[in-house]
Amino acid sequence: MTSHQHTARKAPGELHDTDRRGALIVLTDVYKQHGSTTALQGLSLTVPRGAIFALLGPNGCGKTTTLKLLLGMNRPDSGTGTVFGLRMEDERDSVAIRQRTGFVSETKELFQGLDVATTIRLVRDMYPRWDASLERELLTRFVLPPRQKVAALSKGMRAKLALLVACCRRAELLILDEPTDGLDPAAAEQMMETLVGMVAETELTVLLSSHHLHEVERMADGAAIMREGRVVLHGELDELRQRVRRVEVRFSANDTSLASSETPSVIRGSGVPAHSDMLSDVTALLPDATDLLHTVQRGSAMTLLVRGEAEVVAQEFVARGAQVSVHAVPLRELFLLLTEARA
């Protein structure tokens, strides 16, 4: 099968076309190969305007590849993507996207031989829409030493300087790759407060990748969890908190109607295959607009991860004689389950 013969998949919770008018970024069924390694396989993603949106996933899941595609640093093998309504795979549109986007890489790349003031002046001269008042505000807030060489700055100070030069160019979109990685708690807190404040006061949209789930929960409006080059869950954090539930089901030892010895984890809609008739029996119980995200079964006990009408699912099992409990799912647990990671 070639890269142009893949069948598009809809990620669980992905916005419908009619909901995309407020979207700044839309990726549809994107594939990317690096040599013999498949980095992205059918990735679909929607990022709303004026939000802080996080890409979550284990190392190697395709987060950085996704950011590079948006910035025109790579081209997709197949699939489509737009930023500001411009096509990321088109060379001219890609230049226009970069003109309106600020980027801070994981390595916080800067001119190591220059001092802070010279670095800012050099970047300032490249952007006619530079925000001098924001520059002064961030210089004061971050307590950046103007005459100190970049090479002599701490990692936290370099991160603050990189954020300053990305923001002051008046970018409409800010793309951040692991922005708080390696920062001490105080520096990370200050960066989060700065980002939240800028989004609240301007039309800025922030797309960031991160491993720090507690920070994402505090500052992000929405998130996409990635696994093996595709999005397995996508949505606003408030909606995920309200509608994703863990349903614990236990049958009596004599009732095997929906029980077998053990069923592996399954993610519906992600392309991970099912290996048991039990799964089709369970999905038949789901009401409309309810997704089964993950399931594990051991003996007469079964755990379901459900997005939607979890209480209705629970009632169906109760009617079949099972003992059932329904629990909220913290983001950390959701991440671990859907990426098959281990605490």
- What is the reported pLDDT for 295? 86
Shared-domain flag, residues 142 and 230: yes
Q: Give the residue from 239, 268, 291 where a domain finishes.
A: 239
Which position has the token pair 């924001």? 134
Shared-domain flag, residues 164 and 297: no
Q: At residue 339, does pLDDT exceed 60?
A: yes
**Contact (CB, 8 A) for 96 and 70:** no
pLDDT in tens, 222-276: 999 999 999 999 999 999 999 999 999 998 766 555 554 444 444 343 333 333 4
Q: What is the DSSP code string of 29-46? A: EEEEEETTEEEEEEEEEE
Shared-domain flag, residues 123 and 158: yes
For the entire predicted model, the pTM comes to 0.82
Q: What is the DSSP code string of 121-180? A: HHHHTT-TT--HHHHHHHHHHHT--TTSBGGGS-HHHHHHHHHHHHHTTT-SEEEEESTT
- What is the reported pLDDT for 254? 60
Shared-domain flag, residues 184 and 260: no
- What does the alpha-carbon distance between residue 93 and residue 326 come to, in Å, rounded to a whole number? 48
Other CB atoms within 10 Å distance of the CB of residue 194: 18
Q: Which residues pair with 298 in a beta bridge?
A: 262, 301
Q: What is the mean pLDDT of the chain?
A: 83
Shared-domain flag, residues 233 and 306: no
- What is the reported pLDDT for 299? 78
Which structure tokens are listed for 220? 């992000």
- What is the reported pLDDT for 84? 94
Task: Bin 101: left if φ > 0, else alpha if -120 < ψ < 50, else beta.
Answer: beta
Please indicate, yes or no, if residue 4 is contained in any of the structural domains: no
Shared-domain flag, residues 108 and 175: yes
Q: At residue 2, does pLDDT exceed 80?
A: no
pLDDT in tens, 107-146: 767 778 899 999 999 999 988 889 999 999 999 999 999 9
Please indicate, yes or no, if residue 1 is contained in any of the structural domains: no
Shared-domain flag, residues 195 and 278: no
CA 244, distance to chain mean position in Å, is 17
The full length of the chain comes to 343
Please indicate, yes or no, if residue 221 is contained in any of the structural domains: yes
- What does the alpha-carbon distance between residue 283 and residue 220 come to, in Å, rounded to a whole number? 31
Average pLDDT over residues 307-327: 91
Please indicate, yes or no, if residue 12 is contained in any of the structural domains: no
Please indicate, yes or no, if residue 110 is contained in any of the structural domains: yes
Shared-domain flag, residues 174 and 152: yes
pLDDT in tens, 257-271: 555 444 444 434 333
Shared-domain flag, residues 75 and 163: yes
Q: Give the residue from 218, 239, 260 where a domain finishes.
A: 239
Shared-domain flag, residues 205 and 260: no
pLDDT in tens, 70-81: 998 889 999 999
Shared-domain flag, residues 152 and 288: no
Which structure tokens are listed for 109? 């790349």
Helix, coil or strand: residue 197: helix
Average pLDDT over residues 305-312: 92
Please indicate, yes or no, if residue 171 is contained in any of the structural domains: yes
CA 131, distance to chain mean position in Å, is 29
Strand-pair category, 262-263 with 23-34: unpaired
Domain with 205 in it = 17-239
- What is the reported pLDDT for 258? 53
Look at the chain and report how many structural domains it folds into: 2
pLDDT in tens, 165-177: 998 988 899 999 9
- Read off φ and ψ for residue 48, nearest 5 degrees: -75, 155
Q: At residue 104, does pLDDT exceed 90?
A: no
**Contact (CB, 8 A) for 71 and 81:** no
Cα atoms in the 13 Å half-sphere on the side-chain side of 155? 13
Q: Give the residue from 207, 239, 271 where a domain finishes.
A: 239
Which structure tokens are listed for 71? 């910035």
